[in-house]
Amino acid sequence: MVVRTGSGDALLIATALVVIAITLVGIRFGIGAFFAEGYDARAIDAETLRFVIERCLERENMFDPLFTLERCGLDTAVLNSEHVVLLHREDGLNFSHGVHSYATTCLLRGAAEKQSFPLCVSFSGTFDGQTVTGIVGSAQRARRTR
C-alpha cells in the first residue's frame, strides 16, 4: 500500500480559498447594494422640520424682528442651503428663511416625484391668538461621498 502525503492538505487549501473568495464576493456586492445610491430623506426631513417649527411657534414669537432660528434649536447654515421655512400670519406679518425659490418649486405639478426638487409640507394653526399658515420644505438627500 502506497500512501501519498500532502494530497489532502492541497485539497483543504483549495477548499479554503474557494470559501474565502465566495465570502469576499458576497461582502463586495452587499456593500455595493447598500451604498449604491443616495437616500431620499426629503419627506422625513420636511415633516421633522414642520414639527420643530410648530413646537417653536408654541413657545416663541417667530415674527419678532430679533428672532433667530437658533432659539428653536435649528442650524441656520443647514437651513440656508437645502431648506425653506415660510410663515404667514393672518395680520399680514411674514417670516421666511432658507432658499425662497423652493416655495415656488414645491407647488409645481409633479415636483414630489422629481428627486432634484424639494418636498414641502403645509400646515396651519393658531398660535398666540393668530392663525398662522406655513410651508416648510427640504431638498436634502443623502449622497455618496466619493
Domain contains 146:
no
Q: Are residues 29 and 57 in the same domain?
A: no
CA separation (Å) from 31 to 25, 35, 40, 77, 90?
10, 6, 18, 32, 52
**pLDDT over 50 (residue 146):** no
Mean residue pLDDT of the chain comes to: 82
How far apart, in whole angstroms, are the C-alpha atoms of residue 25 and residue 21? 6
Angle, alpha carbons 104-108-114 (nearest 5°): 110
pLDDT in tens, 68-99: 888 888 888 888 888 888 888 888 888 888 88
Q: Which domain holds residue 1?
A: 1-36
Q: Are residues 29 and 66 in the same domain?
A: no
Domain contains 143:
no
**pLDDT over 70 (residue 37):** no
**Which of the four pLDDT bands, split at 50, 70 and 90, describes residue 21?**
very high
CB atoms within 10 A of CB 66: 6
Our count of domains for the chain comes to: 2
Q: Are residues 61 and 12 in the same domain?
A: no
Check residue 26 and give its pLDDT. 95
Q: Say if strands 83-89 and 119-127 run parallel, antiparallel, or are unpaired.
A: unpaired
Q: Are residues 52 and 111 in the same domain?
A: yes
Q: Are residues 74 and 21 in the same domain?
A: no
